[in-house]
Chain A
Amino acid sequence: MAVKSNLINMVLVLGLTCLFCSAVLGGAYVLTKEPIEQAAAEKTNQAISKVLPHFTDVEYNEAGRYYKATDGDILVGYAIESTVVGFGGPLSLIVGITPDGVVYNTSVLSHAETPGLGAKCTSDARFMDQWRGFDPSVKTLAVKNDGGDVDAITASTITSRAYTLAVENALNVFNELEGGQNNE
């Protein structure tokens, strides 16, 4: 069967195998680098276009974790990433807010909620649609159990609260941005 082992052939075979394999992987990395970046960029673009009206350019601000979307010279709105602790782990949203301070739409980037319960925050139409055009100056940002205007997902109040908090955090980021600009 296999060759009898001695120091030289062990080092040689293992070394050559590693060398060859790393060469193959290096090549594959170079070849797939561009498609991977494209796929990631497309995913972000799709997420932003879901939560904001038509735009032509986006600019990412890494410190504030938000995207500033513009159509020519006109500011379309901000797509703000917001992560809170949900029921099963981190719940990450992207919240689109138009310059008048109204939530245009929200979308879940990643979550670890219970399948069939909290995970409905990505599929329950009644819950998701209420964020479209949510105006915090008219409605109270809290679930109905807590005296607000947000319809919670049935049997998933904790997830709904986390979602609401994530939107609130995004609105705070937006207010800071707008406040900062008004002071200039």
Chain B
Amino acid sequence: MDEVLLGTVLASTLRVATPLLLCALAGLLSERSGVIDIGLEGKMLFAAFAAGAAGAALASTAAALALACAAAVLLSWLHGLACVSHRGDQVVSGVAINLIAAGLTVVLGMAWFAQGGQTPPVGDAVRLQPLWPEAGAVLGPVLGEGLLGHGVLVYLALALVPAVWWLLYRTRFGLRLRAVGEKAQMVDAAGVSVPRLRYAALTLNGLLCGLAGSYLVLAQNASFVPHMTAGRGFMALAAMIFGKWHPVGAFWACLLFGFLDALAIRLQGVRLPAIGEVPVPAIQALPYVLTVVLLAGFFGRSHAPAELGKAYVKER
């Protein structure tokens, strides 16, 4: 295959996969603790807005990142308040967060920047640039452009996969988190606070969603545009489920979905042997179709955390 093509596809895959991966890991932490997270889309959106607004107004990358994470954490805590503290329905709360974020971001954007909901472009100095701009020239299209020519958030996202894995499977906190998502009563009986664990998971969830939102504004586009997440939060949810609630699984799922996205544009008008021309919408639908097929049990059993969706109530 043409090296340049391979390089661009690889680069595109990683770029698309990064926000998905960050959100998928966020959702994973929440759902492994037993709290359904439909609100990834809303949190990512709200964080993107915060990054765009802070980046433009304060001209500081650090401020943009910090405020983006704070915004997403706030929404995660709201979810916790409704679901963990008040035992409300977790799906309804997630839907509410998505709606609130979708509306609030535009209302605030229009009021503060008067550009129809958009934020002003963030300056080049504030944006996250590739760590090694000459990588393509030095190492060629595949290694240089494709692999090593990205900004810090891409590599951070990749590094977070083993980090989240380590957290879940090699630390005390991770053990307790996994247990509370399978049998919260057991954790309570062992003397560990169930709400505190879940709020901790939600806080980490917020931080990761904050990074995902930041990526959209600081690395991908240059400003916040209304509804810019365009369903990526749900695709991240699908990737998390497709990856069977495991960090490495989520990683491969996000790569796959990113690859499908990169492929979709390039396959337009191309005739494949035996299949003919594949319509772009079919490839765009593929991640969702695959997830449904997985859930139907055709890819082996998918074991969701047993406590998922159940509010913890002490038994008599």
Task: Tell me whether A and B are bound partners.
Answer: no
Q: A-side interface residues toward B, CB under 8 Å?
A: none
